[in-house]
Amino acid sequence: MLEMLKKFTVDDAFLGRFRRLVTESVIPYQEKALRDEIPGAAPSHAIENFRLAAEYLETGSCSGEFYGYVFQDTDLAKWIEAAAYSLIASPDADLERRVDEAIDLVGRAQWPDGYLNTYFTVKSPKERWTNLQEAHELYTAGHMMEAAVAYAISTGKTKLLDIMMKMTENIYRHFIVEKAPGFPGHPEVELALLKMYELTGEAKCLELAEHFINVRGVDRDYFKKETAIRPGKVWGMDPEDRAYAQCDVPVRDFTVAEGHAVRAVYLYTAMAELARRSGEKELTDACVRVWNNIVQKQMYVTGGIGSSCAGEAFSVDYNLPNDIAYSETCAAIGLVFFARRMAELFHKGEYGDVMEQALYNTVLAGMELDGQRFFYVNPLEVVPGVAGIVPANRDELPLRPKWYGCACCPPNLARTLTSLSCYAWEENETTVWNHLFIGGKLDLTDTKGVTVDVATGYPVQGNVKYTFHPVGEKAGFTFAVRVPAWCEHAKVLYNGERLYRRAPGEETTLNTRFEDGFAYITADFKEGDTVELVLDLQPRRIFANTRVAANSGCVAFAYGPMVYCAEGVDNHNEILSLRAGKSLEPTMVPITEGVLNGMLRMDVPGYRLESDATLYSARRPRAVPYTVRMIPYHAWANRGENEMRVWLPEL
């Protein structure tokens, strides 16, 4: 999938805004944070940690102390990764020079034996690999590997890749050659190693990723044994909480999604990628089981996952509270990662459906529309005075904070929003799949002898037009377009000829088929040929399974992939008294001013309830007709603190 980073150039009206914010605002801010140049903010110290590690290796002593989280190195890694992606679309010689300098510093902080980690180098060089549960050592390595891969693809420069291959050799020696037991407390290195493998073809990367996946949970007591003998501790985590760290059973025995949501989906991502490469049924089946558990029983309608604030974790089936939702931004991003690998494994549209559900709702909600503030936690109901204040609701902030000491979600957003090309597209020898509808230019000159222009107003509009420009006279291959399951009346046109979806018997002169959520068009594409996907973007009602206690009697609204929410600022600040009507259809209204300019508002005919002023009353609240104004969920909390609800009770 990584090759798509350079093959597809995003030029998208809707997502362009977010990409630009990342390039123009988030990445520069992130860099300042790394360099401790933001007045008033908690220092990151990430660059300084690398400087100290280099100093230690070069002089044998340090002039300062390590500062920050045990995984502080990942602040730099994620910045390099985001900067690398950003440089593909927005070349910036000065930024590239500064990244090169940072990479030089990383190189200086690497031990001669390849080991790289400033926490252990500066703080306790003898304690390498003694605390896999807590110390995020492999996690940190994984993020730097992802950065290395991204930067190599983006710039062709392989210095960081070489550094991380040396680190991979170091890890390989320790865990494979010297047979050290254990596996990472926070999965990440597995998916990173598989990216290294994809780019370099280096067998040790694949073997190491496979090793960590294979040994996980086999010795259920590994963390317990480690805790008993390790010299230091980081947080004092419970080594018996195996579900939290996805090691209660071997991965092939997974039946449900459990534990810390980000750890879980990072692991599942690697499992799916490995299963695709190996074709192993047992691992594939495990991926399907956890996927199905997530999307059929543990996912918010916004594509958010990990409903439990305690442990930022998956909960039990159907436990999806709206007001005390955790639904971490990074977990939704991880779900995109997982979905992308599942899409490639199975070529079913449902994976792309979920990918865009997470992307256009929870992932985008993670960032303020000015690119300056970020949500970790993405509740589906907010009541000012309760959210962020009442102990049970303490995590659910009503407004995005500026940055975080634990800077995990903002950089994750930055790297995801700048690398959408590889989530949107997939290619093999015969076929090109389009998973996400993003405007831009697809250059398949090398492989299919064609470029494809993609023009779309998605997700605000429902048309996606692909125009083919073969290098030669024609280009013969199969072009597969996802047809979202949520769209009841979708059309696919080839040069204006209709290919109706869900009419598999209906033949055309083309070799076409509709299968598992994709329209496959096999043709000799000639200059100017077009494929068009026409999605009927009507406002949609969504009903939850009755087992979701929090949504009893409620309905959610969506338009295309975007789930909508009602905010107080549009509704006289009384969201809790609003009810959605059952019969009349909502209408879409363009927003033409303010920070939401260009989006579509949804006007839902409904009611405003006037209850007695008392806490309880024998009188049923009087229902007054009222049009509930709703906006895309991702855009909530951009106009000050106010009430918000995704699920509205129906009347």
Pick from 104, 486, 510, 530 the residue near a copy of itself by CB under 8 A.
Answer: 486
Smallest gap, in angstroms, from Cβ of residue 494 to a copy of itself?
A: 28
Site string for a copy of itself, 243-282 (x = CB under 8 A): ----------------------------------------
Neighbouring CB atoms inside 10 A of 100's CB total 15
Residue 617 binds a copy of itself, judged by CB under 8 A: yes
Smallest gap, in angstroms, from Cβ of residue 390 to a copy of itself?
A: 5
Residues 585-614 touching a copy of itself, rule: CB under 8 A, are 609-614
Residue 297 binds a copy of itself, judged by CB under 8 A: yes
Query: Dihedral (C-alpha) 86, 90, 95, 99: value to the nearest 10 degrees?
Result: 40
Neighbouring CB atoms inside 10 A of 427's CB total 18
> Are 85 and 155 within 8 A, CB to CB?
no
Residue 541 binds a copy of itself, judged by CB under 8 A: yes
- Amino acid at residue number 167: M
> Are 216 and 222 within 8 A, CB to CB?
no
Q: Which lies closer to a copy of itself via its Cβ, residue 493 or residue 576?
A: 576
Residue 180 binds a copy of itself, judged by CB under 8 A: no
First to last CA, the chain: 47
Residue 579 binds a copy of itself, judged by CB under 8 A: yes
- Burial (Cβ within 10 Å: 0-12, 13-18, ≥19) of residue 224: middle
Residue 545 binds a copy of itself, judged by CB under 8 A: yes
Secondary structure letter of residue 22 according to DSSP: I
Pick from 547, 585, 587, 595 the residue near a copy of itself by CB under 8 A.
Answer: 547
Q: Which lies closer to a copy of itself via its Cβ, residue 144 or residue 397?
A: 397
Alpha helices in 434-495 (DSSP H): 445-448
Residue 242 binds a copy of itself, judged by CB under 8 A: no
Site stretch for a copy of itself (CB under 8 A), options 1-9, 163-171, 230-238, 308-316 = 308-316
Pick from 3, 92, 574, 603 the residue near a copy of itself by CB under 8 A.
Answer: 574
Q: β-pairing, 554-559 with 497-500?
A: unpaired
Smallest gap, in angstroms, from Cβ of residue 233 to a copy of itself?
A: 22
Q: Which lies closer to a copy of itself via its Cβ, residue 129 or residue 268?
A: 268
From the candidates 408, 409, 487, 565, give the one annotated as an active-site residue.
408
Smallest gap, in angstroms, from Cβ of residue 392 to a copy of itself?
A: 6
Rg from Cα positions in the chain: 25
> Are 99 and 80 within 8 A, CB to CB?
yes
Site stretch for a copy of itself (CB under 8 A), options 147-155, 160-168, 281-289, 293-301 = 293-301
Answer positive or negative: Cα dihedral of 57, 60, 65, 69.
positive
Q: Which lies closer to a copy of itself via its Cβ, residue 67 or residue 486?
A: 486
Please tell me the distance from the alpha carbon of residue 225 to that of residue 626, in angstroms, as a whole number. Answer: 62
- Amino acid at residue number 455: A
Active site annotation includes 406: no
Query: Residue 260: beta bridge partners?
Result: 313
Residues 355-394 touching a copy of itself, rule: CB under 8 A, are 381, 383, 385-386, 389-392
Site stretch for a copy of itself (CB under 8 A), options 145-153, 315-323, 469-477, 626-634 = 315-323
Smallest gap, in angstroms, from Cβ of residue 610 to a copy of itself?
A: 8
Q: Angle, nearest 10°, between helix axes 281-293 and 329-346?
A: 140
Residue 488 binds a copy of itself, judged by CB under 8 A: yes
> Are 387 and 379 within 8 A, CB to CB?
yes
Distance of CA 280 to the CA centre of its chain: 26
Q: Which lies closer to a copy of itself via its Cβ, residue 118 or residue 551?
A: 551
From the candidates 81, 210, 312, 567, give the one annotated as an active-site residue.
312
* Burial profile 56-73: b = 16 or more Cβ within 10 angstroms, e = fewer: bbeeeebeeebbbbbbbb
Query: Residue 431: beta bridge partners?
Result: 478
Q: Which lies closer to a copy of itself via its Cβ, residue 397 or residue 442?
A: 397
Smallest gap, in angstroms, from Cβ of residue 324 to a copy of itself?
A: 6
Pick from 203, 228, 229, 310 the residue near a copy of itself by CB under 8 A.
Answer: 310
Say how many CA atoms lie within 13 Å of 109 toward its Cβ.
29
Pick from 57, 534, 576, 591 the residue near a copy of itself by CB under 8 A.
Answer: 576
Q: Which long-range contacts (CB under 8 A, 24 or more apart) does 52-55 make?
A: 52/118, 52/122, 53/108, 53/109, 53/118, 53/121, 53/122, 54/105, 54/108, 54/109
Active site annotation includes 487: no
Pick from 17, 465, 540, 639 the residue near a copy of itself by CB under 8 A.
Answer: 540
Q: Which lies closer to a copy of itself via its Cβ, residue 231 or residue 391?
A: 391
Please tell me the distance from the alpha carbon of residue 73 to that of residue 142, in angstroms, as a whole number. Answer: 11
Site stretch for a copy of itself (CB under 8 A), options 141-149, 294-302, 457-465, 512-520 = 294-302
Neighbouring CB atoms inside 10 A of 211's CB total 18
Pick from 255, 278, 296, 573 the residue near a copy of itself by CB under 8 A.
Answer: 296
Residues near a copy of itself (CB under 8 A), total:
63
Q: Is the peptide bond before 561 cis (omega within 30 degrees of 0)?
A: no
Q: Which lies closer to a copy of itself via its Cβ, residue 36 or residue 574?
A: 574
CA angle 135, 340, 252 (to 5 degrees): 60
> Are 286 and 222 within 8 A, CB to CB?
no
Please tell me the distance from the alpha carbon of residue 166 to that of residue 559, in angstroms, as a whole number. Answer: 48
Site stretch for a copy of itself (CB under 8 A), options 97-105, 184-192, 360-368, 619-627 = 619-627
Smallest gap, in angstroms, from Cβ of residue 593 to a copy of itself?
A: 30
> Are 130 and 163 within 8 A, CB to CB?
no
Pick from 24, 497, 543, 595 the residue near a copy of itself by CB under 8 A.
Answer: 543
Q: Which residues bind a copy of itself (CB under 8 A)?
A: 295-297, 299, 301, 308-311, 315-319, 321, 323-324, 381, 383, 385-386, 389-392, 486, 488, 540-549, 552-556, 574, 576-577, 579, 582, 609-621, 649-651
Q: Which residue numbers are catalytic?
A: 312, 408
